[in-house]
């Protein structure tokens, strides 16, 4: 049977956001998950990923940023996004049983997690499901400056056809970060990890990433 999912409300400053928690028995870690810029926490990709992480013995807490909660399309500015991350991590600590607490996210959500950690938010480590290193077609404007001040373990899961991260540039960034950063390529994957010619639903695609993430968490307890 699938692990039950619990709905939550979390206060962020004067706002309130929705969250979804999945906690298997005696989880080895909790992975807090943020959505990308164009889809909320209910997206099948994140749903499939969260359920597969539960099968790996990892609890998850995923949430909506305030702009998504309000039905707006334009993402929150970093100060509010970072405040949201801090509030959700605090709630995850309350829900947990002192297991390691990780921050992760799809694209925008992962980038905001990294900025929050760079500004001092505690986390055992970071997992990026498609890091948006640059806007498509604009490799000259990298979003990497803050990454070099992050000292916790980081896993970059990236599709080789992802237009948000030129492979050579991302490899260079990971090399400059040093041994705390690990890059794992998903051959043929685009920014959503879809592989051309391979028919899979978004939930299945998300679930397919869980084994690699769980292995990384186990290797960095």
User: What's the pLDDT score for residue 3?
Assistant: 81
Domains of the chain: 5-219 (3.40.50.1820)
Mean confidence (pLDDT) of the chain: 95
Instruction: Of 30, 28, 2, give the one whose Cα is nearest residue 123.
Output: 30
Q: How far apart are CA 153 and CA 151, in angstroms?
A: 7
Distance in angstroms between the alpha carbons of the first and the last residue of the chain: 27
Q: What is the tens place of the pLDDT at every residue in 134-169?
A: 999 999 999 999 999 999 999 999 999 999 999 999
Question: What's the whole-model pTM score?
Answer: 0.95
Q: Using the 8-state DSSP alphabet, how is residue 195 labeled? A: B
Dist. CA 145–CA 92, nearest whole Å: 28
Pick from 35, 39, 189, 27: which is nearest to 109 by CA?
Answer: 35
Per residue in 186-205, pLDDT tens? 999 999 999 988 889 999 99
């Amino acid at each position: 049977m699938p692990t039950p999912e619990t709905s939550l409300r979390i206060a962020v400053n004067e706002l309130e956001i929705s969250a979804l928690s999945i906690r298997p028995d005696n989880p080895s870690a909790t992975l807090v998950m943020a959505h990308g810029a164009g889809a909320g926490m209910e997206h099948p990709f994140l749903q499939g990923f969260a359920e597969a992480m539960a099968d790996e013995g990892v609890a998850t807490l995923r949430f909506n940023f305030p702009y998504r909660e309000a039905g707006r399309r334009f993402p929150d500015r970093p100060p509010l996004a970072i405040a949201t991350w801090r509030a959700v991590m605090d709630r995850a600590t309350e829900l947990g049983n002192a297991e390691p607490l990780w921050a992760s996210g799809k694209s925008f959500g992962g980038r905001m997690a990294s900025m929050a950690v760079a500004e001092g938010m505690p986390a055992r480590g970071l997992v990026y499901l498609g890091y948006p290193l640059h806007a498509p077609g604009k490799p000259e404007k990298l979003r990497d400056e803050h990454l070099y001040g992050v000292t916790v373990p980081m896993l970059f899961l990236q599709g080789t056809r992802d237009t948000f991260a030129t492979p050579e540039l991302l490899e260079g960034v990971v090399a400059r970060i040093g041994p705390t950063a690990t890059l794992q390529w998903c051959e043929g994957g685009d920014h959503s990890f879809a592989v051309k010619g391979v028919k899979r639903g978004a939930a299945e695609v998300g679930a397919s990433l869980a084994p690699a993430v769980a292995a990384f968490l186990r290797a960095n307890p």
